[in-house]
Amino acid sequence: MKNSASKADFEALLNAQFDNFRKGFNPGERVTATVAAVTPAGVILDVNAKKEGIIPENSFAPGAERPSVGDTVTVYFAGVSDGAFIFSTGGGESAGGGDRSILQAFESKLPIDGKVQAEVNGGYEVMVGKTRGFCPFSQIALHREEGASYIGKTYSFIVEEYDPEEKNLILSRRALLERQAAERREALR
């Protein structure tokens, strides 16, 4: 006697599997993913969704190390292109610190890495690659500590304002910390 499942049973089983998959992501959302493949075009990610995720090759700084198949990575959602979810490594794409990566971080509200250089009038001087930025005292943390404790350290920031012609770069670490706290609260629900 043959044991066969009907087409309807198979469809129900397949749909039940897809119920656990993500339908989409919010811009700038932090996602934990598994590297499925590394190709010349970029890194292919399993993001627990119906579509695959991709970190395009041009998102990596020249000479930066690529993750390996099976690695777990933290990435940020940047958008959808050609039916795939596009992700960024956040700080990794800004390691060169060029105007293009700062502009991209500003437009997409993705984090970008910067090193706190010094305490200046009203805040901190932060270097993003070779570009000098400013982070107000109120935007360096959720609860401000002694000013010297931040100097010399590299943090991820959100670009609040950016004008390359005026050389105006305003950063906020607090906005990123608040967003991450909201994501943790949502995950706990």
Query: Is 94 a member of any domain?
Result: no
Is the pLDDT at 176 greater than 90, yes or no?
no
Is the domain of 116 the same as that of 44? Answer: no
**Residue that finishes a domain, picked among 88, 114, 142:** 88
The reported pLDDT for the residue numbered 165 is 81
pLDDT confidence bin for 71, thresholds 50/70/90: very high
Query: Is 45 a member of any domain?
Result: yes
φ, ψ dihedrals at 48, nearest 5°:
55, 45
The reported pLDDT for the residue numbered 186 is 81
Q: In terms of pTM, does the model score above 0.75?
A: no
The CATH number covering residue 70 comes to 2.40.50.140
pLDDT digits (tens, 9 = 90+) for 82-132: 777 888 776 443 334 456 678 877 887 778 888 999 999 989 999 987 889
Q: What average pLDDT does the segment 165-181 reach?
A: 88
Is the domain of 76 the same as that of 115? Answer: no
Strand ranges, E, within the chain = 30-39, 42-46, 53-56, 72-81, 84-88, 112-120, 123-128, 131-136, 154-163, 168-172
Range of the domain at 18: 7-88
Q: What average pLDDT does the segment 139-151 reach?
A: 83
The reported pLDDT for the residue numbered 102 is 82
Is the domain of 120 the same as that of 58? Answer: no
Query: Is 93 a member of any domain?
Result: no
Q: What average pLDDT does the segment 16-30 reach?
A: 64
Domain count, the chain: 2
Query: Is 56 a member of any domain?
Result: yes
Query: Is 38 a member of any domain?
Result: yes
